[in-house]
Amino acid sequence: MAAARHPNRLLASLPPAELESLRPHLKPFDMVQGDPLFDAGDPLSWVYFPHSGVISLVVSLDDGRIIEAAMVGSDGVVGGSAALDGKVALNRGIVQIEGAASILDVATLRKAAERSVSFRTTLIRHEQALFAQAQQSAACNASHTVEARLSRWLLRSRDLAGGNTLLLTQEFVAQMLGVRRTSVSLVANTLQSAGLIRYRRGRIEITDLEGLRAQSCECYGRVKAHYDRLLDNKAK
């Protein structure tokens, strides 16, 4: 009887024999919204393969602000650089949207990467896609309107969460975008008036997907293309 397809798309993209060698070492992990997974400079002990939900990788500033550099869901891994001699975290990881994940201890990950060229290559390609996402986010934050940035961010969150309803507060979204909460509130009202989203306290529902894509900048499509190429999986 064939083994069930793994809910993490990166793991599912591995050759079956390599995935089966990892399965006994993967442990279930519940991701609770708002929970910190690690801080910048922390030694990496575990890597996270989300099945559902979203993890945000954020940069902390001295004034207490945090700004999102990248987000990872079921199409990726958090902490994969640990197999490539990245012994400490470069940023903070927090759970953006609750869900489930598999975790793997770093020692096992490194052994698997040393043993398998294809697994090591997959991790390298993911780190490249993650770096490209962080670069795109920096360019987006510097160059595009809050409306385009919020639309891009909601679309990416929607793709990773697997549904049109996102349990997120405006305060959290503002932190991730590095803008004032009032700016997010004004833009969210504009998008709601246009019929693109429906917002209630702590809950954002995307009601017009194509319309929201039209409001977004090119950054959404570029990041999505990086991950589609990573997984050799044509976007639907």
Q: What mean pLDDT is reported for the chain?
A: 90
Candidates 106, 91, 209; CA nearest to 156 is 209
- Do residues 59 and 66 lie in contact, with contact meaning Cβ atoms separated by under 8 Å? yes
Same domain, 155 and 74: no
Given a cut of 90, is residue 2 above it in pLDDT? no
Q: Domain check: are 131 and 44 in the same one?
A: yes
204: which strand partners? 166, 199
Label residue 232 by pLDDT band (50, 70, 90): low
What confidence score (pLDDT) does residue 147 get? Answer: 95
Whether 179 has a pLDDT exceeding 50, the answer reads yes
pLDDT of 235 = 37
Question: Can you give the residue range of the structural domain that contains 111?
Answer: 9-139
Q: Are residues 129 and 161 in the same domain?
A: no
CA torsion angle 115 56 52 181 (round to 10): -170
In 160-206, the DSSP E strands lie at 165-166, 197-200, 203-206
**pTM of the predicted model as reported, rounded to 2 decimal places:** 0.90
Instruction: Please tell me whether residues 32 and 102 are part of one structural domain.
Output: yes
Asked whether residue 110 is domain-assigned, the answer is: yes
